């Protein structure tokens, strides 16, 4: 990669690792409605910390919206207003504290802790009824987590853990995509979406539609439970490595 691009893009090996993380995270997000941030955030924080969380949010928006194509009829539309309202409040709260974390040595620790917390939520086996109040609460929690690190899906995933797989994935992807847009807006207003993050997101963006198309045949073959242990294991390993490097 030419030296003139080093201000805006990582060197070749970190870029390739980030690309692999985007592909893996996109597949998991497409199939289950959650998981992109848990895979991409720790990997990118290790390989290209200056580009986090803006790059993850920008790519996450593309993945969430792209995953909805062909599944819009399965979205539970009545659930979206309270969930996205909570996400907006959470994004605003996170943006207020983001300047103290983003671009500092605290960011890797925050990312690692949130990944491990997200894994714990996934394995806890919690069952929470879907109501306007719980949707708002999940959106609020996910908004704070997602805006700071790009990992905002797990709280909503708990609510939809017992819902039919297709409706669950479609609705979670709707929350994921539009929630990322709210987080991008909040960070942009705080001056934390910068040119290098836009450049890295643009360089990795072509992998998103290619992966979404390639993953279509897998949708009918894999249940959420089949990929869940692999996704959680990879996220946990990445978080532990990130935490060990940061401490």
Return the pLDDT at 32.
78
What is the full DSSP assignment across 76-135? Answer: -GGGHHHHHHHHHHHHHHHHHHHTTTTTSTHHHHHHHHHHHHHHHHHHTT------HHHH
d(C-alpha 170, C-alpha 68), whole Å: 6
Q: Over the stretch 14-41, which tens digit does the pLDDT of each residue have?
A: 999 999 999 999 988 888 777 898 889 9
d(C-alpha 19, C-alpha 207), whole Å: 7
d(C-alpha 33, C-alpha 28), whole Å: 7
d(C-alpha 244, C-alpha 180), whole Å: 28
- pTM of structure: 0.86
Classify the C-alpha dihedral 25-70-133-188 as positive or negative: positive
Q: Over the stretch 137-190, which tens digit does the pLDDT of each residue have?
A: 999 999 999 999 888 888 998 899 888 888 888 899 899 999 999 999 999 999
For residue 114, pLDDT over 80 is answered with yes
- Could you tell me the residue ranges of all domains in the chain? 3-246
Provide the token pair at 90: 């959470």
Q: The tokens 């895979």 sit on which residue?
A: 39
């Amino acid at each position: 990669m030419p030296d003139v691009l080093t201000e805006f893009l990582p060197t070749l090996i970190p870029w390739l690792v980030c690309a692999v993380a985007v592909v893996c995270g996109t597949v998991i997000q497409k199939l289950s409605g959650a998981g992109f941030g848990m895979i991409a955030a720790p990997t990118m924080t290790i390989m290209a910390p200056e580009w986090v969380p803006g790059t993850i949010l920008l790519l996450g928006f593309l993945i969430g919206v792209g995953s909805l194509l062909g599944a819009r009829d399965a979205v539970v539309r009545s659930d979206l207003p309270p969930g996205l309202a909570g996400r907006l409040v959470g994004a605003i709260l996170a943006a207020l504290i983001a300047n103290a974390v983003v671009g500092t040595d605290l960011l890797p620790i925050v990312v690692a802790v949130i990944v491990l917390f997200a894994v714990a939520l996934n394995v806890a086996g919690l069952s929470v009824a879907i109501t306007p109040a719980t949707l708002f609460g999940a959106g609020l929690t996910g908004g704070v987590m997602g805006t700071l690190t790009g990992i905002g899906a797990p709280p909503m995933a708990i609510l939809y853990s017992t819902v039919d797989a297709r409706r669950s994935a479609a609705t979670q992807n709707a929350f994921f995509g539009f929630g990322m847009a709210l987080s991008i807006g909040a960070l942009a207003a705080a001056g934390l979406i910068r040119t290098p993050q836009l450049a890295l997101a643009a360089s990795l963006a072509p992998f998103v539609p290619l992966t979404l198309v390639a993953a279509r045949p897998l949708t009918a073959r894999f249940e959420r439970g089949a990929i869940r242990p692999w996704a959680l294991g990879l996220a946990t390993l990445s978080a532990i490595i990130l935490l060990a490097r940061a401490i």
